[in-house]
Each structure stands twice: as C-alpha cells, then as structure tokens.
C-alpha cells in the first residue's frame, strides 16, 4: 500500500512536469519567447531567400569551423604537378577563411563580366532608371553569334530586360549581354557603378574587355550572396539564374552530389583563358570558388577545373576536417 502511494505520487509529479514543459513549449511556439521568434523568422527568411547568406537573417548562426591548412597544401601542388598555369581563389563563407593560388594575378574576364552587368541593370531598376519588365527591341548592333542562340531571333525581336538577364546569365548569351548593356548605358552615376561600389581591382584593356584576378572577381559573387549592392529580392533572382545555367562542366562537374546547387558563371577568352567562378551551396558549408586557367576551351582545361573543384568540395564536405 505504501509503495502504491509512492508510485501514484511519482506519476502526479511526472505528469505535472510534462504539462509544465508542454505549456512552456507552447508559449515559446506562440511567439512569446523572443529567441524562438527570431529563430523562426530567420528560418522563414532563409526559405524565401535560399541563395543568400543565412547570417543576414540570424545574428549568431551555428557555423562549423574547419582547418584549411591541409587544403592549402593540396592546391599548390596540383598546379605544379600537373603543369597547370592559372589562378584560384576559395573562400569559406561561414567564416571568411580563404585559400588562394595566384589569387591576384589578372586574367581576361571575358563572359565573367556578365554578372556585374546584371548587377548594374538591377541597380538601375532599383533606382527607377529602367523597368525590368518593359519590353525592349534587339538592335542590329546587339547581335553576336559567338556565344548563345538569341542572335537567331534577329534584330527587332522583343523581350523584357528581365528575360534578357536570365538568358545572359543562364546561357552566357552575348546578344543578351549587348541588349542589356545598351539599355543601361548612361543610366547610373559613377558613384553607383558596381566596380566603384565594391572597390574591385580590374585593368581595362582597350575595347577587348578587362583583366581581373580570381580574388577580386569573387567580390561580385560574395556581394550577391550578402546582398551588399542589390536588394535581397534582386540578389536572390540573379543567383537563381546562375544556378539554372546549362553549363554542367567545370565547377559543377566537381561537385559529387548533384543535388547541391551551384550558382556559377563560365568565362571563355579565345584559346587563352578559361574560367569558372561560383558559389557552391553545401549545407551549412557554403563557399565561393573561382578558377582561371591558361589554355583553350577543351577537355583538358575543363577537366582541370573540375578536378580542382572536386578537390575543394571533398575537403569541405569531409566532417573530419
């Protein structure tokens, strides 16, 4: 009888504790706890903006820390042992830790500059200088058959600037590039120029484009990721277009898990420089990787970029580091 009373008493105590915990949890879930509310809001924002930095929505994100010294020791020898010449810049976005190989050596950016052009178009729209959903006509001087298929539509074809941007970023289309550039020329003041806003170092080379280092170029990608030049909605939209590119070689080929999103932009400068720079969205371990190699656009350069990308991906993805 005595044991029975003790057992009943214990049940009452346990039930009371469970109920108390339940009411406490209910109260927290009903947004009475500011910490839970902040966390839930951060999660909601992360769902709305999956390609932007989580730290934009959470003051103290739980970022894993990784020792990158062994990765540094792998990258340099890859270049020297394989006779590869070029530049590489890697940055682990949760902590800002970086690894570089000739990171400041400048190479011709070629189509890589379609990203800053897109950023300036969206900035002009944010300032009310252009309307992204207004249809514009492709002019004769915009047609370019070197990259992309839009030129086949011919002069006079109409599309919105938003559509042109998607084609420019996803397909690396030159006609889309010249259409976009032609519609923002003179729209931004010098202070609003993306290069001035980010203080990016690049060397203008007459009418043949610009030379830039892999570290400097990564600033554009990080700026989109942290929404430092364009609004969150616009940064998210441009990054989304970059994840929808049809180019699955180079950086993307080095990512073993094909469910991992890669927002990247390739660059091809004749037979001299081949590039691919992007953000790899590995869960809680997002990173920027920009690789520029000397050589022609063929299996050799594509495979070297893919192998370097794979080397980085497997290192970052290894939880033992």
> Cα(138)–Cα(123) distance, rounded to whole angstroms?
21
| pLDDT attached to residue 190 | 83
Share of the chain above pLDDT 70, in %: 82
Residues paired with residue 278 on neighbouring β-strands, in sequence order = 264, 289
**Residue indicated by tokens 């370097």:** 308
Q: Residue 148: CB partners within 8 Å, gap ≥ 6? A: 167, 171, 172, 173, 174, 175, 176
> Cα(148)–Cα(132) distance, rounded to whole angstroms?
21
Enclosing H/E stretch for 294: strand 287-294
What average pLDDT does the segment 127-153 reach? 96
- State the pTM of this model: 0.82
| pLDDT attached to residue 321 | 67
| pLDDT attached to residue 254 | 96
What average pLDDT does the segment 303-318 reach? 96
Nearest to 245 by CA among 207, 276, 214: 276
With cut-offs at 50, 70 and 90, classify the pLDDT of residue 13.
very low
| pLDDT attached to residue 266 | 95
| pLDDT attached to residue 205 | 61
> Cα(290)–Cα(214) distance, rounded to whole angstroms?
6
- For residues 288 and 263, the answer to whether their CB atoms sit within 8 Å is no
Enclosing H/E stretch for 159: strand 158-160
What average pLDDT does the segment 132-152 reach? 96
- Asked which of 53-62, 207-216, 266-275 is least confident by mean pLDDT, the reply is 53-62
pLDDT above 50: residue 5: no
Q: What is the pLDDT of residues 14-72, one digit of tens each?
A: 334 333 334 343 434 344 444 446 556 666 777 888 898 877 776 555 456 678 999 99
Give, in degrees to the nearest 5, the angle at Cα 300 between 295 and 305. Answer: 85
Burial of 264 (0-12, 13-18, 19+ CB in 10 A): buried
> Cα(208)–Cα(227) distance, rounded to whole angstroms?
29
Burial of 230 (0-12, 13-18, 19+ CB in 10 A): buried
DSSP class of residue 250? T
pLDDT above 70: residue 191: yes
- Asked which of 136-150, 183-197, 258-272, 281-295 is least confident by mean pLDDT, the reply is 183-197
> Cα(269)–Cα(43) distance, rounded to whole angstroms?
41
What average pLDDT does the segment 261-283 reach? 95
- Asked which of 7-11, 172-176, 239-243, 253-257 is least confident by mean pLDDT, the reply is 7-11
- For residues 137 and 158, the answer to whether their CB atoms sit within 8 Å is yes
Helix residue spans in 82-171 (DSSP H)? 114-126, 161-170
């Amino acid at each position: 009888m005595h044991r029975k009373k003790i057992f009943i008493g214990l049940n009452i105590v346990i039930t009371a504790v469970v109920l108390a915990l339940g009411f406490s949890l209910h109260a927290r879930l009903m947004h009475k706890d500011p910490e839970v509310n902040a966390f839930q809001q951060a999660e909601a924002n992360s769902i709305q903006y999956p390609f932007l930095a989580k730290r934009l929505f959470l003051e103290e994100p739980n970022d894993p820390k990784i020792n990158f010294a062994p990765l540094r020791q792998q990258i340099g020898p890859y270049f020297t042992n394989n006779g590869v010449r070029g530049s590489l810049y890697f940055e682990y976005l949760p902590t800002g830790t970086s690894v570089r190989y000739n990171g400041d050596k400048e190479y011709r950016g070629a189509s890589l500059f379609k990203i800053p052009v897109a950023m300036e178009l969206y900035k002009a729209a944010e300032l009310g200088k252009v309307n992204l959903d207004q249809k514009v006509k492709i002019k004769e001087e915009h047609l370019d058959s070197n990259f992309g298929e839009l030129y086949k539509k011919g002069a006079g074809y109409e599309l919105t600037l938003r559509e042109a941007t998607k084609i420019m970023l996803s397909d690396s289309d030159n006609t889309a590039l010249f259409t976009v550039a032609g519609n923002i020329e003179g729209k931004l003041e010098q202070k609003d120029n993306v290069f001035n806003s980010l203080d990016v170092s690049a060397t203008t080379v007459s009418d043949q484009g610009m030379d830039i280092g892999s570290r400097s170029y990564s600033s554009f990608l990080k700026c989109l990721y942290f929404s430092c030049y364009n609004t969150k909605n616009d940064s998210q939209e441009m990054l989304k277009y970059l994840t929808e590119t049809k180019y699955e070689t180079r950086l993307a080929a080095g990512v073993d898990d094909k469910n991992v999103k890669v927002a990247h932009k390739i660059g091809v400068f004749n037979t001299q420089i081949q590039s691919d720079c992007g953000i790899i969205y590995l869960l809680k371990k997002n990173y920027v990787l920009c690789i520029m190699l000397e050589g022609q656009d063929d299996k050799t350069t594509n495979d070297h970029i893919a192998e370097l990308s794979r080397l980085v991906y497997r290192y970052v993805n290894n939880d033992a580091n």
